[in-house]
Structure 1
Amino acid sequence: MMTLQAAAKAIHAQWQGADNVFNAVTTDSRSIAAGDLFVAIKGAHFDGHAFVTDVIRQGAAGAMVSESFAIKNPDLPLIVVADTRLGLGALAAAWRAQFSLPLIGVTGSNGKTTVKEMCAAILRAQAALDGHGNEAAVLATEGNFNNDIGLPLTLLKLRSTHSAAVIEMGMNHVGEIDYLTRLTRPTVAMVTNAHRAHLAGLGSIQNVALAKGEIFAGLDEKGIAVFNADDAHAELWQNLAGKTLRLTFGMKQVADVQGEFMAHGLGGMMHLHTPWGSVDIQLQVPGAHNAMNACAAAAATLATGVSLNAVEDGLSGFRGVKGRLQLCAGLNGARVIDDTYNANPDSMRAAIDVLAGIPGRRIFVMGDMGEVGEAVAQFHDEVGGYAKSHGIDRLLCIGEFSAAAAHNFDSGGEHFSNLEALIKTLRAELNEQTTVLVKGSRFMRMERVVDAISAPVNQAGDK
């Protein structure tokens, strides 16, 4: 990859010890491999500097450390910086600058991970059409590596074999996206939407929209800003994009990439009209919000120069993301929809919309929503009313604030103080006519409910 001295020079840092070559970068001492550069991050509960000597003994090429550690260890192969978090970011920015390729940056309150994966599917379809080949041709953010540590580690995986990349950016405070986008330098930067998420740290949806719009600061004069024309903050993002070339997407307002969706079952047909022509796409993921996600992914990838054939191939073959409206077989022939990855008031509504469109008996299992600010009780109450008004038959809730949802749902609503009692009640109601959708914020670990009511592998018919 590069030598310690070259890396130090690229980020204007000091270097000491042997000038070893490193092949990869990690912050996890438990997964160190020979030839890795270990970045010693100091967190709330640990300090990576405590493991530097051990990882070098295990074969690490060297470590990025603070000045105070380096002074005490003059013989170790080290890159020396004032702040290892910022040093990691600087190294990632220097590494990314070596590559000239289409790179999509994605942020938004809801759907950004699904949109990121849809973009990756389209880019891989284009790589296949171009004869490049396989999934490895496209770099995409893995898991939740979308913060000031995960994003640099993702950028440092860029290789000359990549034909394109799509990078997800998350945030919970002002300035975070600005920092991440300046490291990433996307050629296409997209905001999917601004909804009621991270209000605890940002205070208002307007502030959320401003923080998401920071992504455009990473574009150069040839970059393209992509944003949601249906969102109430579209004009704000247009202004933040400045003189940068803009491409909009939407399903209600006039947009450059316009989608029309007709749902059927747990999927639907989307007609996409674009400046490059029109195409009909059979989606395999449920809900109008996923049609909007597909519209967003189409816009961002078309901005990189992909063909409509690649858009169709990528989106029609997309089967969803784990923990985000994924259908699985339940006990006693029931259907279970796993939407447990995270939750906020607007994504709760989107999930209820999906469940409401499915025939039969419908049970919504709800866990608390986090980071929604001072109106937390109101937002949970609102979900209960929305579920009731949309024909949901049962609302089973767990968590301190979800009691308000069960109360507003009234008859058919039930709040539980422990998970075991909820699961026992739920299991007794499962049959072939029942669909259960499970959702809550990450800290609620609602996947435990999904695991408890999913059919065994042999019953589900899997191999």
Structure 2
Amino acid sequence: MMDLAFFARAGGGVLVGSNCALTSISTDSRHIAPGALFVAIEGERFDGHDFVAAAFQAGANAALVSTDRAQGLPMPRVVVADPLRALGQCAAAWRAQFGLPLFGITGSNGKTTVKEMLAGICRAAAGSAEAVLATEGNFNNHIGLPLTLLRLTEAHRYAVIEMGMNHSGEIALLTRLAAPTVALVNNAQRAHLAGLGSIEAVARAKGEIFEGLGPRGVGIINADDAYAELWREQLGSRASLSFGLRQGADVFGRCSATAAGSRLRLQTPAGETEFDLQVPGEHNALNALAAAACALGAGIGLAPIAAGLRRFAGVPGRLQNLAGPQGARLINDCYNANPDSIAAALAVLAACSGRRILVLGDMGELGDGVDAMHVEVLRRAQMLGIDSVHLLGEAMRRALGEAKLQGTAHASAEALAQAVRAECDAHSTVLVKGSRFMRMERVVALLAGRPQEGH
């Protein structure tokens, strides 16, 4: 079991008080399990040191605190110069004790879907859900990733670790902590342009994931992506597997649409297999190929690959099928948005029968050209013959005026949902999508007749 002395050694700190066992690690005093270590991190809007006493009262056994805030605390503690940095150091040291296959996953779009697909494959390979550690929720940054690594135990046979970013150097840090044995860049698309400036810069920043691979690690590369060669350069002499829907990839797939999703046939160095996916869209077929390539890179066979992908039923907020108003099909794809992920979602909507209704919120973090990109997605909807378009947000409102297209911009989620409900019947499909800050789940809740979160 993990103890406080480990954090003193690995974090380069001083143990004050007696050593004690630790059941878990938390940076949130509101969610403390009995016996936990509370890590006091100073952020832009809060300072964890202000909540050490509350964490202790909630059941924490100890705290990791900074030198200048270490006096007068009521619990055993490790004192370090920088608790956040020490958290990362401890996570890397803890991870180094485990020789299991660890998958590192990044990309502009689809990384959470690939992570869940791959976790399902690993569960099938291990024969147990408890044998697989996978990133939960949005724990994919410089705080969440160390917390995930510190959950590793001897019971785990595989770990699937998602890595997110919005600036250069962030993936480099995360991959050094995680030390993946298999590393994937799923794609590079128009996301986080505000922080990076160009898609090539995004691709290069994503490719930093290969810096954490050891000499015997395996890099997984999207052969269909324009930046595949850049990633091969970043990978260097280490082994690689490519995947794609175009002939020539090591893991090559052919997909055809079905009523519920798609039929996918894989050709791989280990042989061929065929199965049905429960999720729609060519982009999800490509996500499945990415997960399969990762699994093959770790020596997992085709049978658990097919079994895991066959069982995958989707991720909440990513092309999630729900019951809509008047019997309509409601597709909840509101987790996030950029021009390329919207294009993929529009392809799914365009393939639906009956009345096709599009609900879009503003896209964020796009930098220069943001207005042109909003116009672009509206023109794509028109080109695909989408029957009705409803918009929320100022950028979408401006784009509607500039593009001179058919559509309605609404002042509130409530007004938008009311207008969409009036159009729906049992043959309609409604797609809802927008960037995280737009909280388009409000619209989904109104259309699905569910209580809104936070209300």
TM (norm. structure 1) is: 0.95
Q: Is the 8 A contact 1:396 1:406 kept in 2?
A: no
Instruction: For residues 33-64 of structure 1, give each alpha carbon's deviation from its aligned partner in whole angstroms, at most 9, with x where no partner exists.
Output: 22100000111111110111232244312100
Match in the other structure for 1:51? 51
1:411 is displaced (CA, Å) by: 5.1
1:380 is displaced (CA, Å) by: 0.2
SS of the equivalent of 1:80 reads strand
1:252 is displaced (CA, Å) by: 1.8
Instruction: For residues 216-239 of structure 1, give each alpha carbon's deviation from its aligned partner in whole angstroms, at most 9, with x where no partner exists.
Output: 000001100101011000000000
Match in the other structure for 2:99? 100
Match in the other structure for 1:109? 108
Letter in 1 for 2:284: N
Match in the other structure for 1:63? 63
Instruction: For residues 294-349 of structure 1, give each alpha carbon's deviation from its aligned partner in whole angstroms, at most 9, with x where no partner exists.
Output: 00000001111111000110011110000000111111111100000000010000
Among candidates 410, 426, 438, match of residue 444 of structure 1: 438
CA distance in 2, matches of 1:409, 1:124: 48
Match in the other structure for 1:431? 425
Matched, 1:79 2:61: no
CA distance in 2, matches of 1:242, 1:411: 48
Q: Is the 8 A contact 1:36 1:61 kept in 2?
A: yes
SS of the equivalent of 2:368 reads helix
Among candidates 129, 132, 140, match of residue 138 of structure 1: 132
* Change beyond 3 A, Cα 1:75–1:335: closer
1:10 is displaced (CA, Å) by: 2.1
Instruction: For residues 148-180 of structure 1, give each alpha carbon's deviation from its aligned partner in whole angstroms, at most 9, with x where no partner exists.
Output: 011111111111111101000000011000000
Q: Is the 8 A contact 2:122 2:132 kept in 1?
A: yes
CA distance in 2, matches of 1:456, 1:340: 15
Match in the other structure for 2:195? 201
Q: Is the 8 A contact 1:108 1:212 kept in 2?
A: yes
* Change beyond 3 A, Cα 1:433–1:322: same
For residues 120-159 of structure 1, the aligned pairs below 5 Å read 120-128=119-127, 134-159=128-153
SS of the equivalent of 2:373 reads helix
Q: How many aligned residue pairs are there? A: 451
Q: Is the 8 A contact 1:266 1:287 kept in 2?
A: no
Matched, 1:329 2:323: yes
Matched, 1:362 2:361: no
Q: Is the 8 A contact 2:343 2:380 kept in 1?
A: yes
Letter in 2 for 1:65: V
Matched, 1:227 2:218: no
CA distance in 2, matches of 1:184, 1:235: 24
* Change beyond 3 A, Cα 1:362–1:409: farther
Letter in 1 for 2:334: T
Letter in 2 for 1:345: P
1:75 is displaced (CA, Å) by: 6.8
CA distance in 2, matches of 1:409, 1:378: 9
Q: Give the CA RMSD over aligned residues.
A: 1.4
SS of the equivalent of 1:310 reads helix
SS of the equivalent of 2:125 reads helix
Letter in 1 for 2:124: A
Matched, 1:276 2:282: no
1:265 is displaced (CA, Å) by: 2.5
For residues 10-49 of structure 1, the aligned pairs below 5 Å read 10-49=10-49
Structure 1 range deviating more: 13-22 or 344-353: 13-22
For residues 156-171 of structure 1, the aligned pairs below 5 Å read 156-171=150-165
Match in the other structure for 1:90? 89
Matched, 1:395 2:394: no
CA distance in 2, matches of 1:54, 1:364: 46
Match in the other structure for 1:131? none
* Change beyond 3 A, Cα 1:456–1:37: closer
Match in the other structure for 2:409? 415
Q: Is the 8 A contact 1:108 1:194 kept in 2?
A: yes
TM (norm. structure 2) is: 0.97
4+ aligned runs moved over 6 Å, structure 1:
none
Instruction: For residues 240-294 of structure 1, give each alpha carbon's deviation from its aligned partner in whole angstroms, at most 9, with x where no partner exists.
Output: 0011111111112521100111112240111100000001110100100000000
Q: Is the 8 A contact 1:329 1:455 kept in 2?
A: no
* Change beyond 3 A, Cα 1:92–1:456: closer
Letter in 2 for 1:342: N
- State the identity %: 55
* Change beyond 3 A, Cα 1:253–1:235: farther
Q: Is the 8 A contact 2:11 2:80 kept in 1?
A: no
Structure 2 residue runs without a partner (length 5+): none
Q: Is the 8 A contact 2:169 2:208 kept in 1?
A: yes
SS of the equivalent of 1:230 reads coil
Q: Is the 8 A contact 1:26 1:32 kept in 2?
A: yes
For residues 330-345 of structure 1, the aligned pairs below 5 Å read 330-345=324-339
Q: Is the 8 A contact 2:253 2:289 kept in 1?
A: yes
Q: Is the 8 A contact 1:17 1:74 kept in 2?
A: no
Structure 1 range deviating more: 54-63 or 432-441: 54-63
SS of the equivalent of 1:227 reads strand
1:76 is displaced (CA, Å) by: 3.7
Instruction: For residues 376-433 of structure 1, give each alpha carbon's deviation from its aligned partner in whole angstroms, at most 9, with x where no partner exists.
Output: 1000000000000011011100101012443466453111122222111111011012
Structure 1 residue runs without a partner (length 5+): 129-133, 458-463
